[in-house]
Amino acid sequence: MAFSWESYRRPMICLAPMAGVTDASYRQLIKKLAPETIVYTEFLSTDAIHYGAKKTMKELEFDKEDEHPFIVQVFGKEPEHFLSAAKVIEEMGADGIDINMGCPAAKVVSSCHGSSLMKNADLAKRLVEATTKEVSIPVSVKTRLGWDSIDDLIPFCKGLIDAGAQALAIHGRTYEGKFGGEADWDPIYELKENISVPVIGNGDINCAQDALDKIGNLDGVMVGRGTFGNPWLMKDIADALIHGKPPGEPTVKTISFKEKIPFIIEHCELAVKVKGQKRGMLEMRRHLASYVKGIDGASELRSRLVRVESVEEVESILCA
């Protein structure tokens, strides 16, 4: 059955798209722990997809057995490139397309991508229209509360829906808020009361209790940075939100570091399989630093792990 935001099981649990993090290895790892998770790619350039850039086309690949529902997140500013990229993404078998209108990175915003689209509602709508024009898979948007205030959130989102967006994921900070302070979910609840499509909340979910406390009237939650070093978080959230299990001590604290090692090694092996030895291990270094955070001897381990070049090196360090 084709994926649909409208009919998919509630509440929805989504792994936030994160540059340099949510590659196929991480997505597969998360799906192994919490099969209920809707996974997203790292955000990919529609320009690069339009021109068939080799690196980006490689990043579109996914495990057709284990990664569904699989959403490709894209960014850009040229409607024609969104249209052609959408065709490619649908042909590759993705379940949906998500447009990034929330990334606050200076390089992204200065190129009129990401969060900058919140200042150009007309272009934002045209991008949604172009993406939905010739594909049958659903198109969604991930954005923020606004540029510097929440005043335009509801009209901006209504415009996106009129243009064809079938779901929205909202990060509870404005562009100017970046990732500082506490995420504000109240405007997201108000948005849900004023629109008809599914709304997913994002921001500051670090344990299952956070998800229970924040979901309110929303259709789901999206979790990003809270999974760093703790992919087990998605299982805890699924147990609480979907299976009704009272949240107790987080899994990451109830299993020993020794029990985590085989899982960490598997993550390394997947990374090498997906991105090759050099790049796979390079990108694993940030994950390895997160995995050892808070354990005895973490500082010394971290200083060694951020220089590893092979899975065997990781094994020798962690199993010593």
User: Measuring CA to CA, which residue among 182, 192, 127, 184 is closest to residue 160?
Assistant: 127
Token pair for 30: 């998360």
Q: Which residues are catalytic?
A: 103
Complete DSSP assignment for 75-104 = E-S-HHHHHHHHHHHHHTT-SEEEEEE---
The runs of H, that is alpha helices, within the chain are 24-33, 46-50, 54-59, 79-91, 106-110, 121-132, 153-162, 186-194, 208-214, 232-241, 251-254, 257-275, 277-291, 298-305, 311-318
Partner residues linked to 70 by β-bridges: 39
Cβ atoms within 10 Å of 197's Cβ, excluding its own: 18
**Distance between first and last Cα of the chain:** 48
User: Measuring CA to CA, which residue among 206, 128, 142 is closest to residue 170?
Assistant: 142
Rounded distance between C-alpha atoms, residue 118 and residue 22, angstroms: 24
User: Measuring CA to CA, which residue among 105, 100, 159 is closest to residue 129?
Assistant: 159
Complete DSSP assignment for 229-244 = T-THHHHHHHHHHTS-
